[in-house]
Amino acid sequence: MRTSFEFKTACLKSDTLTDKLKKISAILPDPTTGTNGQYTMKDAALSALSVFFYLNP
16-36 pLDDT, tens per residue? 888 888 888 888 888 877 777
| Domain presence at residue 4 | no
| Domain presence at residue 1 | no
Half-sphere exposure of 12 (CA within 13 A, CB side): 8
What pLDDT is recorded for position 37?
73
| Domain presence at residue 34 | no
How far apart are alpha carbons 17 and 21 in whole angstroms? Answer: 6
Q: In which domain, by residue range, is 44 found?
A: 13-25+39-57
- Report phi then psi at 26, rounded to 5: -70, -25
CB 50 within 8 A of CB 42: no
| Domain presence at residue 45 | yes
Secondary structure class of 23 (helix, strand, coil): helix
Report the domain count for the chain. 1
CB 15 within 8 A of CB 46: no
| Domain presence at residue 52 | yes
pLDDT at 56 over 70: no
| Domain presence at residue 33 | no
